[in-house]
Amino acid sequence: MARRAMRTFRWVVLGALVIGIAFLFGEGHMTGWAAEAQSPCAIHYPSDQRIAWHCRRLQKGETLEKLFGQRWVDVARFNRID
């Protein structure tokens, strides 16, 4: 019985190690991807060339309502942030 328990214990430890290693390497890969996609200003679509625009980030204390008045809802929908 002790042998069987020891064998089971080894498999559990081995499984935990495999999952831990996969998690660590998977996290590193996802971190690199997240860093690349961090800025929405870096995303460009072909239709962007039709109109003049510039990327703007809201500063601390700014809101869409303060910047665009009653049209803030339209701006949010157009930019897919509604």
Q: What is the pLDDT of residues 7-48, one digit of tens each?
A: 787 887 777 777 777 777 765 555 555 556 567 787 778 888
In a domain, 61, yes or no: no
Q: How many domains does the structure of the chain reveal?
A: 1
**Residue 75 or 14, more confident:** 75
Residue span of the structural domain in which 25 resides: 1-38
pTM beyond cutoff 0.85 = no
List Cβ neighbours of 63 (8 Å cut-off, separation of 6 or more).
72
How far is the C-alpha of 77 from the C-alpha of 80, rounded, in Å?
Answer: 5
In a domain, 11, yes or no: yes
In a domain, 48, yes or no: no
In a domain, 23, yes or no: yes
In a domain, 65, yes or no: no
In a domain, 17, yes or no: yes
In a domain, 24, yes or no: yes
Coil, strand or helix at 37? coil
**Residue 63 or 44, more confident:** 63
Q: Where does residue 61 fall: left (phi above 0), alpha (psi -120 to 50 degrees), or beta otherwise?
A: left
In a domain, 59, yes or no: no
Q: What angle do CA 70, 73, 77 make, to 5 degrees?
A: 150
